[in-house]
């Protein structure tokens, strides 16, 4: 315990007896718990962790023969942070899992208060329908399903499709604000042609007189190729950031802000030979390797990762990234926008 921390007062028989009596009236002494309630620094319960794609994929394919997408509603293997097992949380505020949809399957339409993102890891031929538009999904694409929008997934191709899901379910449940319902039919009607949102919002134009409404980006698919090209362009312009390499944030084209109110998403290029310096921030962050391989030091522990491996960096734990042998690209997401709007976010390079 540091000098700044509040020392827990001594226990005496009189005090113990008092605590027992007030406990029966649903009261407790703050001085017994103050030090763990108000900590001088974040003390995340979640731990640094890594999930190897090859291992998880094998279990996911096994799940594919045990249950259909229709019966499961969503066939997902949840990544349980080992520091907080059994809570469907990868960090203290976010949920993440790997979802499999097999050829011919439909994951039925539903909506919920939680916002979701997908980052496609394997396969082509699947789509997500959001707001009456079906968007096809290819590896590296980043797809949103904003809060309270009906969404269903389908696979009309001939190979399994796997993506990383990220949701703010723990935040929604912290506030006890969960609502959800199924669409009356398996799929929502298609009312807009594919490419509609991209043409309207993704070309540096907005429909004339457009007024921002809601907190989510109306552009709900961000293709890998142009995102990757933006990183390559950043790399041509100068030196990498010493901690982040060449890093960009996905933005809502109508506001310039985060694509969703609770979750920010990022893409970074780590050039071959990058030897990053430590960085920490209060937003526990989920990373997945979109390309290449390397390793990250998280709180002094080394995590070697390769294409499609997922790892998590808890709040305020220093992280550095290293790519001695190969250029790599990392996709990541965190609750940074929520922390920023609440005035809680901090970082330290």
Query: For residue 41, what are the CA distances in angstroms to 7, 8, 70, 138, 281?
Result: 16, 17, 45, 40, 11
Whether 133 and 190 have beta carbons less than 8 Å apart is answered as yes
- By CB under 6 A, residue 169 contacts ligand 1HN: yes
DSSP-assigned letter for residue 44 = -
- By CB under 6 A, residue 116 contacts ligand 1HN: yes
Q: Could you tell me which stretch among 111-119, 133-141, 304-312, 335-343 binds ligand 1HN (CB under 6 A)?
A: 111-119
Our CB check for ligand 1HN shows the closer of 131 and 241 to be: 131
Our CB check for ligand 1HN shows the closer of 298 and 312 to be: 312
Whether 289 and 228 have beta carbons less than 8 Å apart is answered as no
Q: What residues contact residue 253 under an 8 Å CB cut-off, 6+ apart?
A: 201, 202, 204, 206, 217, 218, 219
Cα–Cα dist 319/242, whole Å:
12
Our CB check for ligand 1HN shows the closer of 111 and 280 to be: 111
How are the residues of the chain apportioned to helix, strand and coil, as percentages rounded to the nearest 5?
20, 35, 50
Query: What mask of x and - would describe binding to ligand 1HN in positions 137 to 166, judged by CB under 6 A?
Result: --------------x-x-----------x-
Our CB check for ligand 1HN shows the closer of 132 and 299 to be: 132
Our CB check for ligand 1HN shows the closer of 46 and 164 to be: 164
Q: Name which position in 53, 64, 69, 95 contacts ligand 1HN (CB under 6 A).
A: 95
In a 3-state reduction of DSSP, which class is residue 23?
Answer: helix
- By CB under 6 A, residue 266 contacts ligand 1HN: no
Cα–Cα dist 42/325, whole Å:
34
- By CB under 6 A, residue 76 contacts ligand 1HN: yes
Smallest distance, ligand 1HN to C-beta of residue 200, A:
24
- By CB under 6 A, residue 322 contacts ligand 1HN: no
Q: Could you tell me which stretch among 92-100, 132-140, 204-212, 256-264 binds ligand 1HN (CB under 6 A)?
A: 92-100
Smallest distance, ligand 1HN to C-beta of residue 114, A:
6
Our CB check for ligand 1HN shows the closer of 164 and 289 to be: 164
Query: For residue 344, what are the CA distances in angstroms to 169, 229, 248, 282, 347?
Result: 20, 33, 22, 8, 10
Smallest distance, ligand 1HN to C-beta of residue 285, A:
19
The kind and range of the H/E element at 341 are helix 336-341
Interface with ligand 1HN (CB under 6 A): 74, 76, 95, 97, 99, 112, 114, 116, 151, 153, 165, 167, 169
């Amino acid at each position: 315990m540091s000098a700044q921390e509040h020392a827990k007062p001594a226990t005496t028989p009189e005090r113990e007896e008092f605590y027992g009596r007030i406990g029966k009236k649903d009261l407790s002494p703050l001085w017994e718990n103050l030090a763990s309630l108000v900590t001088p620094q974040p003390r995340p319960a979640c731990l640094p962790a890594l999930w190897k794609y090859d291992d998880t994929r094998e279990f996911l394919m096994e799940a594919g023969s045990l249950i259909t997408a229709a019966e499961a509603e969503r066939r997902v293997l949840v990544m349980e942070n080992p520091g907080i097992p059994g809570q469907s949380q990868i960090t203290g505020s976010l949920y993440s899992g790997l979802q499999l949809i097999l050829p011919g399957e439909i994951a039925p339409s539903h909506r919920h208060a939680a916002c979701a993102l997908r980052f496609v890891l394997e396969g082509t031929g699947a789509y997500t329908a959001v707001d009456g538009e079906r968007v096809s999904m290819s590896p590296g694409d980043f797809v949103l399903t904003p809060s309270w929008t009906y969404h269903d997934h389908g696979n009309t191709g001939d190979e399994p499709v796997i993506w990383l899901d990220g949701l703010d379910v723990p935040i929604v449940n912290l506030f006890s604000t969960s609502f959800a319902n199924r669409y009356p039919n398996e799929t929502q009607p298609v009312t807009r042609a594919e490419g509609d949102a991209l043409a309207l919002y993704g070309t540096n134009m907005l429909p004339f007189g457009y007024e921002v409404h809601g907190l989510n980006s109306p552009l709900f698919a961000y293709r890998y190729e142009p995102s990757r090209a933006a990183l390559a362009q950043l790399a041509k312009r100068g030196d990498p950031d010493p901690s982040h390499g060449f890093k960009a944030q996905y933005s809502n084209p109508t506001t310039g802000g985060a694509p969703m109110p609770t979750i920010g998403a990022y893409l970074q290029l780590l050039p071959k030979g990058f030897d990053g310096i430590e960085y920490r921030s209060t937003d526990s962050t989920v990373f997945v390797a979109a390309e290449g391989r390397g390793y990250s030091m998280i709180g002094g522990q080394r995590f070697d990762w390769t294409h499609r491996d997922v790892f998590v960096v808890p709040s305020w734990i220093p992280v550095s990234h290293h790519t001695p042998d190969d250029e790599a690209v990392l996709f990541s997401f965190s609750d940074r926008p929520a922390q920023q709007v609440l005035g809680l976010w901090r970082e330290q390079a």
